[in-house]
Chains A and B, each alone.
Chain A
Amino acid sequence: MTEEKESLTGRQWLVDKVDNSIKEGQTTIPAIENGICQRCGSSCWARLPSGFLYCRACVGLGRLDEGKLLVRQTAGSHYPARAGMTWTGQLQERQEGVSRFLLEKFAAKEDCLVEAVTGAGKTEMIFPLLAEAFSRGCRVAIATPRIDVVNELYPRLVAAFGEVEIGKYHGREEKEAANEQLVICTTHQLLKYYQAFDLLIIDEIDSFPYAGNPQLHFAAGNAVKKTGSRVFLTATPPEDLLKAARQGKLAIVRLNRRFHGYTLPVPRLDLYVKPFLTKGRLHPKLARRIKMAAKSGHPLLVFLPRIAQMPQYFAAVKRLLPDLRLATVYAQDPDRLEKVEKFRKGDLDLLLTTTILERGVTFKHVWVIIVAADDEIYSAASLVQIAGRVGRDKQDPDGLVLFGYRRYSRQIRSAVKQIKEMNRV
C-alpha cells in the first residue's frame, strides 16, 4: 500500500522508517508499541524471519511491522457550515421523538444507542442529526459492517443531502480516498482513520463482522475525535451495549413501531419431518410454499444456511418453476452487487441468499422463506432481522415470513417471542 496521502485529513497510514518525509500537520508513532498494533489494537505475537513482530489481524490493509511508523494526518476543519439537506420528507411523531433525543445527546457530546424495530425508519431519523452536524461544519461517518448496507445507504443519503460531499468506501469499491464531509463505509474502513470524525454513526452494530471483533471496536473508538460522539443503531442490540445502557454508561432510546404504524409481520412456523431437499427435489410442502409465493407476484428471498447447497436448490427451484427469473448470491460471489441490484429493480423474481441480505436492505413488496431456520447459523437476532425485511412499505405493510424448520430451536422461539413483544407495545 503506497498512497500519496499528504492531503488526507484524519487518515493514518504506514511508512518505512527510512522514509521520513513527514509534513506539517502529521504525527508519527511506532506502528507496534509494547507488542500492541497501533492501527487495530491487537496484541502481536507472530514474527518475521528478521525477528520483528508483525500484526496478523489487520494484515489485509498492508502489513504492519515492528520498526515501521504510523503517520497520522490531523483532521481538517475546512468544511462549509451549512445543513446541506435537500430532503423534504416529514418525520412521523414517534420518529420525531427519537430524532430530538439524538440532537440533545449530540449537543451534550454523549454516545447513544438507538433500538428501533426493523422498518422503523432509522435512516430518516438521523437526517436532522446529520443536518445539525453539517451546519456546525462537522465531519461525519456512517459505518456499517455490511457492504450491501453501504450500497443501500449511499444513494439515499446522496438524495437527502444534495449539497454535501459524500464518499462511499468499502473493500470492493475501487476509489481513491478523498476528504468528503460525509463518509459512508464499512467498519473495516475505519481502521484507516484516526480522530477524523465529529460524529460517527454505526448502523447494524450487532452484525458480523463488527460484533465480537475487537479490532473493529478499537477502530470505531479511534476514528472519532476526542470531542466527538457516536450513535449506534440496531433493531437487535447486543448484550454488552444493553448492559452499558442499564448501568447508565450509554444513553438509550427505543422505538417499537414501524414508521407506517403497522405491526411487524409475525413469522409463520412450518415444521418439516423429512429433509428439505432429497435427490435434487424439494420437499413437496416447501415446493408448494415457494410456488404459492412466486405466483403471488411478490419478489421472494429464500435464505439458505450453506453456500455449498445453493447450486442444488437453484436446480430444484429451476425445475419447479422454469419460467421464474432466479439467482443465487453469497458473500464471495463476484457478481453479488449486480445481482442484488437486479433483484431490487425487479429484474429477478427469486433470490437464493445467505445471511448477507439478512439486514439493512429494503426490497419493495418482498416476502421471505427461511429454509432450515433451526440451523445453528441463525441467531435469534438474525431471524428477527430477516423477518424484518417484509412489510416495510406503507402500501403493503404485511406479507409472508415463513420459518421452515425440522427442530424447534431456542433461537426460533426467542425470535418469535421478541417480535410479538414488540408488537404489543
Chain B
Amino acid sequence: MSLCLFCDQPFTGDLDMRRLLLPGKSKTSCLCPSCRQQFAQIGPAFCPQCGRQQDSGEICQDCQKWRRIYQGNFLHNQAVYCYNQAFHDLMVRYKRYGDYLLCQVLQELAAPAVQKLAADYYVPVPTSPEHRKKRGYDTVWEIFTPLLPLTPLLAKKAGAGAQGEKGKKARMQAKQNFFLNPEFRGTITGKIILLDDIYTTGRTLYHARDAIETAFPKCQVESFSISR
C-alpha cells in the first residue's frame, strides 16, 4: 500500500512477476493508476520539430515561424506528454504553490524518455534567482538531477518575470534573459541537450540555445521538454 502523491489516496501497485521475484529491486510508483491515466503521452503523430501532438506529421505553424525567424537554424525538441488539465494542475502545484515533493511525479513521468537521451552535456534551463529563493529550489534542476549528470552552463537574469504568467504575445516578445554561468570555466564541444519542464511557445528554449551557441559555436544543441 502506498499513497499517491498527486491525489493523496492510498493505492496498491500492480503486482507483476518481476516484483514478486525481485522485491526491493523495482521502485514503487508515486502515482496511483487513475492519476497516471490522466497524463496523456504524445502520439502517434506529432510535429517533428517541436514534438507537439497533432493529426499529421507535418511541421506545425509555430515551427515554420521559427524557421523564418532563424533562417532555417531551428531547434529540435523532444516532448513526452500533452499539456492537458492534469499536467497543468501538476505544474501549478509544483511551481506556483511550491509543493517540492511533486518533482518525484515529474521524474517518474519523464524517466523512460530521459534514459534514452544521448548527448555529451545535459543543460537544465535555469530558474530566476528570485523564484529560486522564494520556492527554495530550482524547479527544472530538481526534476532532472537524479536522472542525468547535469552541467549548469546557464544562468538567468533577475527581474525578468516568469514566462508562465504572460500571454502568448508577451512571451514571444520576451527579451534574452539567459547568460553563461560565470562560475563555469573551460570550453565545450559536442552535443548538448537542453532540459525544460514545458515547451509552450519555444521562446525560452530558443533563447537558451542562442546563449549557448554564441559562447560555444561548435556545439550542436537540441532540447527535451517533459510536456508540449
Interface of A toward B, CB cutoff 8 Å: 46-50, 52, 54, 56, 59-60, 63, 65, 332
Contact = CB atoms under 8 A, between A and B. Distances in A.
B11 interface: no
Contacts of B97: 59-60, 63
B210 interface: no
B137 A63 contact: no
Contact of B99 (A49, A50, A52, A59): A59
Contacts, number: 28
A54 B97 CA distance: 11
B93 A49 contact: no
Nearest to B5: A56
A357 to B, nearest CB: 21
B101 A46 contact: yes
Contacts of B101: 46, 56
A50 B137 CA distance: 8
Contact of B136 (A50, A59, A332): A50
A46 B93 CA distance: 14
A56 B85 contact: no
Given A48-B136, A332-B85, A63 B98 contact: yes
A60 B99 CA distance: 9
A255 B101 CA distance: 48
28 contacts: A46-B99, A46-B100, A46-B101, A47-B100, A48-B100, A48-B136, A48-B137, A49-B100, A49-B136, A49-B137, A49-B142, A50-B136, A52-B136, A54-B98, A54-B100, A56-B99, A56-B101, A59-B93, A59-B97, A59-B98, A59-B99, A60-B93, A60-B97, A63-B97, A63-B98, A63-B99, A65-B136, A332-B85
Interface in B90-115: 93, 97-101
A49 B137 CA distance: 7
Nearest to A332: B85
A46 B136 CA distance: 13
A65 B137 CA distance: 13
B38 to A, nearest CB: 11
B72 to A, nearest CB: 40
Which range contains the number of B residues in contact with the other chain? 10 to 19
Nearest to A50: B136
B84 to A, nearest CB: 12
A97 B101 CA distance: 52
Closest 6 CB pairs of A and B: A63-B98, A46-B101, A48-B136, A59-B97, A59-B99, A49-B137
A357 B117 CA distance: 49
Contacts of A49: 100, 136-137, 142
A48 B99 CA distance: 9
A50 B136 CA distance: 7
Nearest to B89: A332
Interface string B131-149: 0000011000010000000
Contacts of A48: 100, 136-137
Contacts of B98: 54, 59, 63
A304 B96 CA distance: 33
Contacts of A60: 93, 97
A54 B137 CA distance: 13
Contacts of A332: 85
B20 to A, nearest CB: 29
Nearest to B98: A63
Contacts of A56: 99, 101
A386 B93 CA distance: 33
Given A46-B99, A52-B136, 20 more contacts: A46-B100, A46-B101, A47-B100, A48-B136, A48-B137, A49-B100, A49-B142, A50-B136, A54-B100, A56-B101, A59-B93, A59-B97, A59-B98, A59-B99, A60-B93, A60-B97, A63-B97, A63-B98, A63-B99, A65-B136
A415 to B, nearest CB: 25
B146 to A, nearest CB: 12
Nearest to B142: A49
B150 to A, nearest CB: 14
B11 to A, nearest CB: 16
Contacts of B93: 59-60
Contacts of B100: 46-49, 54
